[in-house]
């Protein structure tokens, strides 16, 4: 039960296929061949490091493209990369395909759209990471109504992790351009990823990896592209920072992170990934300090230490 809940929590954080992963060796082993010989203890922090760049990438890309426009290009890019590998896919039935599309829209269009719009409206990357960092707590609460109540140790680890996250970015809230509009979109992203996690857990059994990715990003593109056309100018200034942000979003975040997640899940390390997600805001703060010269105070360092302790606590034996 513990590993099942952790699997879907980690899956949602990285935007993995909403139906989960099947045991089809021809599809999954090819996706993970590069890192198949690496130990999980090395892959786990590397996965979190890549995922943490998602908030920093937004700062690089948003000056040159509006949020929904950029996400439309990102989703289209993923589809173009995956299309040549679509031969022989075991497509799900119509009913399951609809469920997968709904979960994909929640986990991709809703979550990423909310985060990128919030940052576009002036919210700092660290604060956005803090708000959506509540997702494991909300998912754990929802688990009580799904027959998967969290243990006392897991609750303690989650709460301590959030306290550490709050320390990392809490002293910067007053200087991060926070508005009610930006906060509303960040909260919408939090609710969307939580709802997507619960929805896929309830309605989406395992599917072929390629089918899940294509359906997920295809449905998200169908939702995001018209919204960009209606509410944005869709003007794009092609620069090297924008090209780099787009390429990283497609290959590292949307594809590479999923392959790394598969490796961890196949080795039974999904619980470790779910716990390590609390380190994302701390790692984001470090990246923002290195890339944008944002201040890194003693309070923030203390928060990172507390988050690290919370990770060890949540992963410890009960």
As a whole number of angstroms, the distance between CA 236 and CA 187 comes to: 27
- Cα torsion at 14, 19, 25, 31 (round to 10°)? -30
Low-confidence ranges of the chain (pLDDT < 70): 1-41, 143-148, 169-178, 205-207, 262, 265-275, 311-312, 314-318
The structure tokens listed for 285 are 């703060």
As a whole number of angstroms, the distance between CA 204 and CA 220 comes to: 17
Number of neighbouring beta carbons within 10 Å of residue 313:
16
As a whole number of angstroms, the distance between CA 126 and CA 266 comes to: 31
The pLDDT score that the predictor gives to residue 145 is 66
Q: Give the angle subtended at the CA of 207 by the CAs of 205 and 210, to the nearest 5°.
A: 150
Tokens 């997702």 sit on residue: 135
**For residue 234, is it left (φ>0), alpha (ψ between -120 and 50) or beta?**
left
List the one residue out of 109, 168, 182, 150 whose CA is nearest residue 286. Answer: 168
pLDDT single digits (tens) 74-122: 999 999 999 888 788 888 888 888 998 998 999 999 999 999 999 899 8
As a whole number of angstroms, the distance between CA 299 and CA 6 comes to: 29
Domain positions in the chain: 2-14+38-315
List the one residue out of 209, 198, 188 whose CA is nearest residue 24. Answer: 209
Cβ pair 100, 217 in contact under 8 A: no
Please tell me the pTM assigned to this model.
0.80
The structure tokens listed for 33 are 């061949």
Long-range CB pairs of 82-91 (<8 Å, 24+ gap) are 82/210, 82/213, 82/214, 82/217, 82/255, 83/214, 85/210, 86/210, 86/214, 89/208, 89/210, 89/211, 89/214, 90/22, 90/24, 90/207, 90/208, 90/211, 91/208, 91/211
Cβ pair 242, 236 in contact under 8 A: yes
The pLDDT score that the predictor gives to residue 133 is 78
As a whole number of angstroms, the distance between CA 150 and CA 157 comes to: 11
The pLDDT score that the predictor gives to residue 144 is 67
């Amino acid at each position: 039960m513990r590993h099942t809940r952790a699997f879907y929590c980690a899956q949602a954080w990285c935007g993995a296929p909403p139906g989960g992963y099947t045991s089809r060796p021809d599809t999954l082993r090819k996706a993970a061949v590069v890192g198949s010989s690496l130990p999980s203890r090395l892959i786990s922090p590397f996965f979190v490091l890549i995922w943490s760049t998602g908030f920093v990438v937004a700062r690089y890309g948003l000056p040159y493209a509006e949020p929904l426009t950029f996400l439309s290009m990102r989703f289209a890019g993923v589809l173009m990369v995956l299309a040549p590998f679509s031969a022989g896919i075991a497509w799900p039935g119509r009913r399951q395909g609809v469920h997968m599309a709904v979960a994909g829209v929640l986990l991709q269009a809703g979550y990423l759209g909310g985060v990128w719009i919030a940052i576009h409206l002036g919210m700092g990357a660290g604060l956005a990471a803090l708000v959506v960092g509540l997702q494991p707590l909300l998912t754990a609460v929802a688990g009580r109504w799904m027959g998967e109540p969290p243990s006392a140790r897991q609750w303690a680890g989650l709460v301590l992790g959030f306290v550490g996250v709050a320390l990392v970015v809490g002293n910067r809230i007053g200087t991060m351009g926070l508005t009610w509009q930006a906060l509303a979109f960040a909260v919408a992203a939090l609710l969307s990823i939580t709802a997507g996690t619960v929805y896929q857990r309830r309605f989406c059994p395992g599917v072929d990896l390629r089918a899940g990715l294509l359906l997920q990003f295809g449905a998200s593109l169908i939702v995001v592209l018209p919204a960009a056309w209606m509410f944005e100018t869709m003007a794009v200034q092609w620069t090297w920072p924008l090209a780099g942000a787009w390429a990283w979003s497609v290959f590292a975040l949307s594809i590479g992170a999923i392959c790394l997640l598969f490796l961890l899940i196949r080795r039974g390390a999904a619980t470790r990934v779910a716990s390590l997600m609390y380190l994302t805001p701390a790692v984001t703060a470090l990246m923002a300090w290195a890339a944008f010269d944002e201040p890194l105070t003693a309070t923030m360092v203390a928060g990172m230490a507390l988050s690290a302790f919370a990770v060890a606590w949540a992963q410890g034996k009960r």
